[in-house]
Structure 1
Amino acid sequence: MTNNTPEMPNLSQPEVNGFASTYPSDTRIEWHSHEAHQLIHAISGAMRISARNRLWVLPVSRALWIPAGIEHAIECGGAVAMRTAYLSTAYLSLPTDLRVISVSPLAREVLVRLAEDKDGTLQQTLGDVLVHEIKQSNIEAFSLPLPANKHIALLAEDLRANPASKKTMTEWANELGLSERNLIRRVRGETGMTFREFRRQTRIIVAIERLIDGQPVTSVALDVGFETPSAFINAFRLVTGKTPRQFTNSS
């Protein structure tokens, strides 16, 4: 594993530093934060990142933008080659919220070159290009809420572990010791979604991780609980804006 301590940029002026690291499968980086903004990107492999009560799935060709000071933890399901950029808070008009963004071929090369630019000769130029790419990038819907309520947290954990489960709201309410009406209200309050929407979003996020692993679309569709591949494709497009094939071709 290559994992040297990253050098933070000078926060008093617009500055960006790149960092390259590799992690073996099942690596977990515990909760931490940085004084600088961070853009995390994997040139190979995929990561799960927990932050602000959400679970973010980060496949290849996407990056997670983490504003300065936000605590986060990282899990690597498989081997990951990470390229990270740290941007000083002196850069203006950058996003103030966590978001998964698309990574253009240009942005990917900038992240790679920043990590290689040991003497800093290209730092200012690459930093300006990267800031432009961040502002122009598309926001991707690759996250799930991590509910704080213990009942809804159990439900969410089970949906991730058993996405094909057909358990109904009535069955869940009985299992959790809640009325169905109370459970409906708590799911909406904790996730901002109906139970049906939350289950669909969970299934798609789990499906994304399996597609990243190279599993066939048809088997993924059935494994995460869809009756037919066409139903899966329609739901996948609704959540991500792409078909599974378009997604895998762009990853």
Structure 2
Amino acid sequence: MKHSDDIPLAARPVMGLEDEYPAGFVDPTHCHARAQFLYASSGVMSVVTPRASFVIPPQRALWLPAGMMHEVSCRGAVSLRTLYVDPVRDTDPGSCRVLEVSDFLKALVLEVVKFPAEYDLDGREGRIAWLLLDEIGRMPGAPYHVPMPADPRLARVCQAVIANPADARDIDAWSSQIGMSRRTFTRAFRQELGMGFALWRQQARLMQAVSLLAAGRSITSVAFDVGYESPSAFTAMFHRAFGEPPSAYLAR
């Protein structure tokens, strides 16, 4: 995966890169000197930072502030279109956020990634670049992430659930595995993440479901793969979380 260090960026507020990555590709933990707008025009990415795990389906993008450590993995083949932005343009420094990507913003991104490294700031390319930054600032957020705990023992549990969301082990089993009492596990989990383990796991399962649906899997197979006992139970939970059933998500 190409990084911002690979191209000269100092004199431009935003620069883009485009590349293609195969299924299973992993870009190990790293960071950038600039803020990053990470967007795949097709394919699904997973991004893990020290405090959150994100799923980025098409029509969504992840804003990563300058200096944020992160690992990127590709669930399937990914067509990457990523922007590197001057940190002074970051309206919320230090905060990662998933953004909706409108058709108009997508068109601007696809245009900017083709600009030469030293595009004319006072000409057409410069005007498009400034317009793109304005549009990014207008995009609403999207709920495609789960928080991650700082405690390394709790983090091991969360990482295991993300790797296999169908794992049905309960709090007693997980707390025993990491050497905690059930009471300590429950209290520490809620103190760190502001929610109980059951709700967190539900969110993690829904994030994995979004990834699988975007990759073209059927609703039935996704329901069982992420740990639901029936497609109807999965559909009901998906509708409550996202305001539409998975069939509507697939149609879009």
The verdict on a shared fold, with TM-score over 0.5 as the criterion, is yes
Query: Which of these residues, 91, 104, 108, is aligned with residue 94 of structure 1?
Result: 91
State the superposition RMSD in angstroms: 2.4
| TM-superposed deviation, 1:196 | 1.2
Distance 1:69 1:150 in 2: 22
The answer as to 2:12 corresponding to 1:50 is: no
| TM-superposed deviation, 1:218 | 2.1
Distance 1:106 1:41 in 2: 14
**Aligned residue pair count:** 247
The answer as to 2:158 corresponding to 1:182 is: no
Q: Who is 1:136 aligned against? A: 138
Q: 5 Å matches for 1:1-251?
A: 6-10=6-10, 15-91=13-89, 94-96=91-93, 97-118=95-116, 120-121=119-120, 122-250=124-252
Preserved CA contact (<8 Å) 1:140 1:240: no
The one-character-per-residue Cα deviations of 1:11-50 (angstroms, maximum 9, x if unpaired) are: 6xx7221211112222222222222221110011111112
Structure 2: segments with no counterpart, 5+ residues: none
Matched residue type, 2:42: S
Percent identity between the two aligned chains: 30
| TM-superposed deviation, 1:102 | 0.7
Preserved CA contact (<8 Å) 2:50 2:150: no
Matched residue type, 1:47: M
Change (3 A) 1:166 1:34: closer
Structure 1: segments with no counterpart, 5+ residues: none
Distance 2:137 2:43 in 1: 25
Q: Secondary structure at the match of 1:116?
A: coil
Preserved CA contact (<8 Å) 1:65 1:98: yes
Matched residue type, 1:41: Y
Change (3 A) 1:31 1:123: farther
Distance 1:144 1:83 in 2: 24
Q: Secondary structure at the match of 2:19?
A: strand
The one-character-per-residue Cα deviations of 1:43-101 (angstroms, maximum 9, x if unpaired) are: 1111111224211111111101112222222112222111111222343x633211010
Distance 1:36 1:102 in 2: 21
Matched residue type, 2:92: P
TM norm structure 1: 0.87
Greater CA drift, 155-164 or 189-198 = 155-164
Change (3 A) 1:163 1:70: closer
Distance 2:29 2:182 in 1: 35
